[in-house]
Chains A and B, each alone.
Chain A
Amino acid sequence: MLINVPETVVADALRGMAAAHPELTVDVENRVVVRRDAPVAGKTALVSGGGSGHEPLHAGFVGPGMLSAACAGEVFTSPVPDQMVRAAVAVDSGAGVLFVVKNYTGDVLNFEMAAELADEEGVRVAQVLVNDDVAVTDSLFTAGRRGTGATLFVEKIAGAAAEEGAPLDRVTEVARQVNESSRSFGVALSSVTTPAKGSPTFDLPAGELELGVGIHGEPGRERRPMMTSREIADFTVDAVLEDLRPRGPVIALVNGMGATPLLELYGFNAEVQRVLSERGVVVARTLVGNYVTSLDMAGCSVTLCQVDEELVRLWDAPVETPALRWGR
């Protein structure tokens, strides 16, 4: 691994990010990344955050048109409430703050505590919970569906609404609509190696793949012998469609988990587009790349978001962040 010691990987990465992106304010000590012009007068702010190791999520999406600030936790560990409150206070213009929270027990608990503390500081806070992963059965017997690829959709589309001047309740409503319209499914071809452990989290022999993985190296729901890109596309897209059942066009995210080359991701996207076409699903927009990653895991995920004209318009709206940038 390209690191010094496990204890400083997050701080080291933030120092490097600060050097590469002078348009962001990076508080390395408190691990909060803020767009430099915050607070923007009259604008609803969006704050997200989560464990590190999913880059460019979330700090890579800080900037005009998307997040106002992001908090970086330890690797695969949610940030602490102090960071979130600091971020909320830094970006609040008085118009309020939306917390974008991925559905993991740690993220949920820490953001809840932060919302209470921020309220005591006089910051109006709303929350949206992202839970798009159909690989997890949402029932009383699990912590509920994980938040994965749809986080990017929520942050981009609700971020665009906020940039246009939508008030907190409207931004929150858009964020919820995007989450409810999105589903994901992920596949791993190799395990994650966390800096702290230094060896693969789970043992996945070459020639096998794990279906239904999350983004923390937690094993998936099923293991099978290696499949072709075509077969994986059939399986993942059908798993998403079975749950989403879109009645209109979709935005598709074909996401790499960190260690899969774009050559393979684009090839996989060709298969994803084929399946969608065969199933009669119209694709309004497509994004391919490593956006919601899991350290050095090889693999991919597919996220589909059913959209109307308004959501497509917000998707197309200008965005200027380290990892997502168009229209300006």
Chain B
Amino acid sequence: MLDADFFHRWMTRTAASVDREAAHLTELDSAIGDADHGSNLQRGFTAVSAALDKEPPQTPGAVLMLAGRQLISTVGGASGPLYGTLLRRTGKELGDAPTVTVEELARALGAGVAAVAQLGGAQAGDKTMLDALLPAAEALGTSFEAARDAARAGALATVPMQARKGRASYLGERSIGHQDPGATSAALLIAALAATDGATGGDA
């Protein structure tokens, strides 16, 4: 069973991972976007960590809702509303249960990913964060590791795609050959989830 502390550690681990990879995300974004994805997410997850540490929420749902709200308030761009909606909707689906099962998380994440698709009007193959999130949410029904691997494979699979959503879509065929920064950061989020599961005790 996963408790609020687990979700707190997941977010903290994501923040650390985004910190570490910020330059790489920005580099990917400079190829097909406007070179700020890393710094934007870094600002957002730093705020998430601080907010969670200040007043740790008591349920898994509340952790994700608070994290999502922080992202919407601090990130801006498309990433703020999209990541914010992902976490808020997933948290809302988890309700106010003190602990949740992996199956419940998988179902909630699926709903969160669907909300992202609806908000951005995107689908699989558009070269967006969904290309990592959709397979990850599905694989989470099997295991955390399967979700991590599916997200990574999904992010890599965006390389040959032509972007149809977001700023990269303005490039048309010139967007082909570059890995999507949003799918890459989404894979970090899922990798942090798997790492949190693998960690023991209070490791953050």
A interface vs B, CB < 8 Å? 6, 51, 73-82, 104-106, 109-110, 112-113, 135-137, 140-143, 146, 194, 196-197, 201-202, 214, 216-219, 221
* Contact of A80 with B165 in the complex, beta carbons under 8 Å: no
* Contact of A140 with B164 in the complex, beta carbons under 8 Å: yes
In the complex, which residues of chain B have a beta carbon less than 8 angstroms from the beta carbon of A140?
A: 164
Among the stretches B72-80, B93-101, B132-140, B194-202, the one at the interface with A is B72-80
**15 A–B contacts from the bound complex (CB under 8 Å):** A6-B39, A51-B77, A73-B76, A82-B73, A105-B165, A106-B77, A106-B78, A106-B81, A110-B80, A113-B81, A194-B34, A196-B26, A218-B170, A219-B174, A221-B172
In the complex, which residues of chain A have a beta carbon less than 8 angstroms from the beta carbon of B167?
A: 104-105, 143, 214, 216, 218
In the complex, which residues of chain A have a beta carbon less than 8 angstroms from the beta carbon of B164?
A: 140-142
Chain A proximity of B92: nearest CB distance (Å)? 15
Which residue of chain A has its CB nearest to the CB of B43? A74
In the complex, which residues of chain A have a beta carbon less than 8 angstroms from the beta carbon of B72?
A: 80-81, 113
Find residues 152-174 in chain B having any chain A CB closer than 8 Å to their own CB.
Answer: 162, 164-167, 169-172, 174
Q: Interface SS of chain A: helix, strand, loop or mixed?
A: loop
In the complex, which residues of chain A have a beta carbon less than 8 angstroms from the beta carbon of B169?
A: 141-143
* Contact of B35 with A194 in the complex, beta carbons under 8 Å: yes
* Contact of B30 with A110 in the complex, beta carbons under 8 Å: no
* Contact of A143 with B165 in the complex, beta carbons under 8 Å: yes
In the complex, which residues of chain A have a beta carbon less than 8 angstroms from the beta carbon of B82?
A: 109
Q: Is B110 an interface residue (CB 8 A)?
A: no
Q: Is B40 an interface residue (CB 8 A)?
A: yes
Chain A proximity of B31: nearest CB distance (Å)? 8
B interface vs A, CB < 8 Å? 26, 30, 32-36, 39-40, 43, 72-82, 119-120, 162, 164-167, 169-172, 174
A76 to B80, CA, bound (A): 14
Which residue of chain B has its CB nearest to the CB of A212? B170
Per CB-CB distance, the 5 closest pairs between chain A and chain B, nearest first, are A106-B77, A109-B81, A106-B78, A216-B34, A105-B78
In the complex, which residues of chain A have a beta carbon less than 8 angstroms from the beta carbon of B77?
A: 51, 73-74, 77-78, 106, 110
* Contact of A80 with B26 in the complex, beta carbons under 8 Å: no
A76 to B167, CA, bound (A): 11
* Contact of A217 with B34 in the complex, beta carbons under 8 Å: yes
- Not counting A214-B170, A216-B34, a sample of 6 additional A-B residue pairs whose C-beta atoms are within 8 angstroms of each other reads A77-B40, A82-B73, A110-B81, A113-B72, A141-B162, A219-B174
A76 to B77, CA, bound (A): 8
In the complex, which residues of chain A have a beta carbon less than 8 angstroms from the beta carbon of B174?
A: 219
* Contact of B73 with A76 in the complex, beta carbons under 8 Å: no
Which residue of chain A has its CB nearest to the CB of B26? A197
* Contact of B170 with A106 in the complex, beta carbons under 8 Å: no
In the complex, which residues of chain A have a beta carbon less than 8 angstroms from the beta carbon of B26?
A: 196-197
A141 to B121, CA, bound (A): 11
Which residue of chain A has its CB nearest to the CB of B171? A219
In the complex, which residues of chain B have a beta carbon less than 8 angstroms from the beta carbon of A219?
A: 171, 174
Which residue of chain A has its CB nearest to the CB of B119? A109
Which residue of chain B has its CB nearest to the CB of A81? B72
The verdict on A217 contacting B81 (CB below 8 Å), with A77-B40, A77-B76, A105-B166 known, is no
Which residue of chain B has its CB nearest to the CB of A141? B164
A82 to B74, CA, bound (A): 9
A201 to B162, CA, bound (A): 20
In the complex, which residues of chain A have a beta carbon less than 8 angstroms from the beta carbon of B39?
A: 6, 74, 196
In the complex, which residues of chain B have a beta carbon less than 8 angstroms from the beta carbon of A82?
A: 73
In the complex, which residues of chain B have a beta carbon less than 8 angstroms from the beta carbon of A106?
A: 76-81
Which residue of chain B has its CB nearest to the CB of A80? B76
Which residue of chain B has its CB nearest to the CB of A200? B30
In the complex, which residues of chain A have a beta carbon less than 8 angstroms from the beta carbon of B36?
A: 74-77, 194, 196-197
A51 to B167, CA, bound (A): 14
A141 to B173, CA, bound (A): 11
A214 to B26, CA, bound (A): 19
In the complex, which residues of chain A have a beta carbon less than 8 angstroms from the beta carbon of B73?
A: 80-82
* Contact of A143 with B80 in the complex, beta carbons under 8 Å: no
